Structure 1
Amino acid sequence: MRSELQFDFLVDKAKNTLTIKREFAAGRQLVWDCYTKSELLDQWFAPKPLTTKTKSMNFSEGGHWHYAMVEPNGTEYWGWTSYETIVPIDYYTSQDAFCDEAGEINKELPSAKWRVSFLDKEENSLVETVVTYNSLEDLETVINMGMEDGMNATLEKLDELLLKLES
């Protein structure tokens, strides 16, 4: 990540939320596409050295994204995102949970509501993600799982992809 790009990771334990603000050196439409198209998500949505593979995706209200983050040794960590509200290139809301390869939600791990907003910031874009957990315990679980470092590393991969797409 170029150091001049904004990255804020804010924890609000009173509201059980994480707010992640991240600036990208690209236009809002391209950044939106990278968040909403499986062929682009598969190129960046996992911290290095993990990769991502999509099993199924329907980016529409009521649709979902079923994907795995894959370690170099082949170990897979499955996730399920259910899309609720979509306002193209402005924001979307979703429910996010851990699951298995069949899409069965793991109720022992935290799930959360996400609101991902896309804003213009001069010639760049700013993505503001607010993640709301059901409890303080759930919030603390994901923080202890390394959410901040994982998000930072993942978003750096998006920086690299955007550079390739814009050149």
Structure 2
Amino acid sequence: MTVISTHKDVEALTLTFVAEFDAGIAQVWQVWQDPRRLERWWGPPTWPATFDRHEFVVGGQSRYYMTGPEGQKARGWWTITAIDEPHRLEFDDGFADDTGEPVDPADTVHMVVTLETAGAGTRMTTLTTFANPEQLEKMLAMGMEEGMRLAMGQIDEVLAGALR
């Protein structure tokens, strides 16, 4: 599995994932930049993602949904807040309604993804910051930690060019 550590810090309102891949930084960057690659791993294996929109620029909007085993759809949105290609990506992430638009733009988490060289490969650190302790606990109760671990576990397959 690619995730080598997770750390929940209730005091700092953060959840951090560290993953390592046997691929260069530019290749790992593509799993975020390219919506077709992104949807092959964003979401656990039983909840695959589909990105309807992915504007990979600062201020850009992404709209996606994950489809569950019974056909149910969980929708989400991103607003990209910073890009330092190919080393850093920041975005706000929240729940969306049936049209893909934010349910509550104030109910977001902020994610920071950093990529750095680790030996012959790449270390990806994903830091999620929550608005308050209640939001952190709600997201953990919904399975965010395990879901992200399973989702990131699919990146090696994407990097290898295998289809889901």
Structures share fold, TM-score greater than 0.5: yes
Q: Which runs of 4+ in 1 moved over 3 A?
A: none
Q: What is the aligned partner in structure 2 of residue 94 from structure 1?
A: 91
Could you tell me which runs of 5 or more consecutive residues in structure 2 were left unpaired when the two chains were aligned: none
Change (3 A) 1:158 1:92: same
- The alignment status of 1:48 with 2:60, answered yes or no, reads no
Tell whether 2:155 aligns with 1:158.
yes
Q: Residues 157 and 109 of structure 1: is their aligned pair in 2 closer, same or farther, counting only changes over 3 Å?
A: farther
For 2:75 and 2:49, locate their aligned partners in 1 and report how far apart those are by CA, in whole Å.
Answer: 10
Offset at residue 118 of structure 1 (A): 0.7
Cα displacement (A) at 1:101: 3.1
* Residue-pair matches, total: 162
Correspondence 1:80-119 to 2 at 5 A: 80-107=77-104, 110-119=107-116
Q: Is the 8 A contact 2:94 2:105 kept in 1?
A: no
**1:48-87 alignment, distance < 5 Å:** 48-87=45-84
Report 1:8-27 matches (<5 A): 8-27=5-24
Q: Is the 8 A contact 2:3 2:153 kept in 1?
A: no
Quote how far apart the aligned CAs of 1:78 are. Answer: 0.6
Native 8 Å contact 1:110 1:141 kept in 2 = no
**Alignment CA distance shift 1:50-1:42 (3 Å):** same
Root-mean-square deviation (CA, aligned residues, Å) is 1.7
Q: Which amino acid aligns with 1:23?
A: E
CA contact (8 A) 1:98 1:109 kept: no
Of 105-114 and 29-38, deviating more is: 105-114
Q: Distance in 1 between matches of 2:107 and 2:15?
A: 13
TM-score where L is the length of structure 2: 0.92
Compute the displacement of 1:110 (Å): 4.5
1:124: Cα distance to partner? 1.1
The answer to whether the Cα contact below 8 Å between 1:110 and 1:142 also exists between their aligned partners in 2 is: no
What fraction of aligned residue pairs are identical, expressed as a percent? 27
Q: Deviations over 1:66-106 (max 9, x none)?
A: 00111233211111010011000110111110112323322
